[in-house]
Amino acid sequence: MSENRRAAVLGSPIAHSLSPVLHRAAYRELGLTGWTYDRFEVDETGLPDFFKHLGEDAGPAWAGLSLTMPLKRAVIPLLDEISDTAASVEAVNTVVFGDDGRRRGDNTDIPGMLAALRERGVGRVERAAVLGAGATASSALAALSRICDGEVTAYVRSEARAAEMRQWGERLGVVVRTADWGDAAEALGAPLVIATTPAGTTDALAAAAPDRPGALFDVLYEPWPTPLAAAWAARGGSVVGGLDLLVHQAVLQVEQMTGRAPAPLAAMREALAAR
């Protein structure tokens, strides 16, 4: 395909983003020599203006955008339609521009989580625990709605956060029980633990890793491994990390933006390791 197209990742801060590494590697492997992928520092106040000026210059047509925080909800009013997956958590991380000019939003974080878990042999679980209650935690609940047969316990720091997680559970069809963060060590006995908290938050839990751990999905990738992930792996537990999520959600973005499937997972992962 020789047609020139462009794509980018938007967010604030954005300098740390590894999305360009992944998407550019995919373009090379797919032979999309005229495609470019950049990063732009854009916050919520600047997002409408960025969209307003898309396509005003004489450059190649836009294929799509990747969105990171804090734009995943702010972008929704600027779109023509969003997928059911994105609507389920009110968060869009992928925008694809159609030939008809329509802007369609999707969320590849949720299927990306499921793909990362499957790759490590994690299928259906009888129950699960979620550490944290932010935007990533709601995506985790959406993923768990498809693979967890029983209760999900969310460990949070405030009653307001607890109420939010229970509401997400009702919306997503997941039975959510909430518990105080002070009891978070109890979460580690679940067959699947998903840690969605910022760097350093779970470090104190490393010493509480069980002797026979189940699966841990720690969405962080910098620094890596986290103390909890390192302790988990040392005890023989299955560990899924933030880089696993990053590459799998990017695979789905590449497929949507380019119309080419399957995306070159191996090449994208190699580029990530070589960065």
Domains along the chain? 5-106+250-274 (3.40.50.10860), 110-240 (3.40.50.720)
Catalytic residues: 72
pTM: 0.93
Q: What's the pLDDT tens digit per position in 136-173? A: 999 999 999 999 999 999 999 999 999 999 999 999 99
Token pair belonging to 256? 């949507």
CA-CA distance, 35 to 31, in Å (whole number)? Answer: 9
Are 5 and 254 in contact by the 8 Å Cβ rule? The answer is no
Q: What's the pLDDT tens digit per position in 73-105? A: 999 999 999 999 999 999 999 999 998 989 999
Tell me what pLDDT residue 135 has: 85
Token pair belonging to 43? 């916050």
Residues 6+ away with beta carbon under 8 Å from 9 = 17, 19, 20, 37, 38, 39, 40, 65, 66, 67, 68
| 3 state SS of 178 | strand
